[in-house]
Amino acid sequence: MLRSQLLRRVVRADGAPHCKAKENALDAQELQSQIDRVPFWYHAIELPGGITTPGISPGPLKDFYDLPKDMTGKRVLDVGAFDGYWTFECLRRGADSVLAIDDGSDLLKAENMAGMEIRVEDRSETVVPWEGFDLCKHALGYNDQQCERKTLSLYDVSPDTVGQFDVVLLFGVLYHLRWPMYGLDRAASVCCSEMYLESACVDYFSPYDGLHPLVDMPRMEFYAGKQYGGNPTNWWVPTSRCITEMLVACDFKPISRCTLNPAEQPDMKIKQLLGFSRCFITAKRRTQ
């Protein structure tokens, strides 16, 4: 139901013009029922009226992401945007515009929506369900100039297809890539200034050899099946050191690197969200 139709109903039911409080309450109710109709949420996104979408990410991990508090005037590319938490976060921090791309290749969403296990080889075509993203964009009041989304693979990103960006976000994407170095090259090709990465990593744990002390070597492990986190679209999991070396090879200078080791986290919720271990890396284009 359209918002305007909804408001008309209030006027008719009361026989008097609605007051602002009633309008907001009704909007909140309608927003909540729209959220409930989306079959799967990955992100917990704060919307007007004190409503938050029921996803798990980033939850208490949000403060570990090293994004600048002020992103005024920045043009941002959010790779693998999913429901758009980080797209909306950049806009909230003042970004001029964000292009959100996703190719739907993480089966998490597809599986949850279908309520069944889907095999990578069974998927005939990619469908990106953007309804959660669109709902939040609308609820937060962003227009198409500020916030655009495209079904596009990182592999097809180039200055010709998407243009250039001040900031590129690569959160939760690298280990989903069959060709990680190529993916990073594509991201680098459109990034004039800063790249922010977050990734699963094998710094302290590997499904192959369990818990181990920090591995500060440029290594990457391959998972042909579901060995890493039970997700068949987790292909290559690097060490954080490996990501920094890959960035150097793309002509970027790593500025900061931090790995969260679940074994050292007292908070159970953080432990669970981290899985094996996650790293956060910031890099700047070297030629600046």
Ligand X SMILES: C[S@@+](CC[C@H](N)C(=O)[O-])C[C@H]1O[C@@H](n2cnc3c(N)ncnc32)[C@H](O)[C@@H]1O
- Give the binding site for ligand X (CB under 6 A): 57, 79-82, 85-86, 101-106, 153-155, 171-173, 176-177, 198
> Measured from the CB of residue 96, what is the shortest distance to ligand X in angstroms?
20
Three-class DSSP category at 116: coil
> Measured from the CB of residue 36, what is the shortest distance to ligand X in angstroms?
21
Distance CA 274, CA 129 (A): 25
Nearest residue to ligand X, by Cβ distance, number only? 80
> Measured from the CB of residue 153, what is the shortest distance to ligand X in angstroms?
4
> Measured from the CB of residue 8, what is the shortest distance to ligand X in angstroms?
38
Three-class DSSP category at 137: helix
Instruction: Provide the terminal-to-terminal Cα distance of the chain, rounded to the nearest Å.
Output: 50
Instruction: State which residue, 156 or 267, has the beta carbon closest to ligand X.
Output: 156
DSSP 23-71: HHHHHHHHHHHHHHHSS---B--EEGGGEE----BSGGGGGGS---S--
Instruction: State which residue, 172 or 232, has the beta carbon closest to ligand X.
Output: 172
Distance CA 101, CA 79 (A): 5
Q: Which residues partner with 283 through β-bridges? A: 195, 254
Q: Which two tokens stand for residue 99?
A: 């292009």
Instruction: State which residue, 82 or 142, has the beta carbon closest to ligand X.
Output: 82
> Measured from the CB of residue 192, what is the shortest distance to ligand X in angstroms?
20
Instruction: State which residue, 124 or 287, has the beta carbon closest to ligand X.
Output: 124
The b-or-e profile of 111-150 (16+ CB within 10 A means b, else e) is: eeeeeeeeeeeeeeeeebbbebbebbbebbebeeeebbbb
**How far is CA 92 from its chain centroid?**
15
Instruction: State which residue, 64 or 155, has the beta carbon closest to ligand X.
Output: 155
Instruction: State which residue, 35 or 177, has the beta carbon closest to ligand X.
Output: 177
> Measured from the CB of residue 151, what is the shortest distance to ligand X in angstroms?
9
> Measured from the CB of residue 81, what is the shortest distance to ligand X in angstroms?
6
Instruction: State which residue, 28 or 270, has the beta carbon closest to ligand X.
Output: 270
Distance CA 226, CA 36 (A): 30
Distance CA 239, CA 216 (A): 7
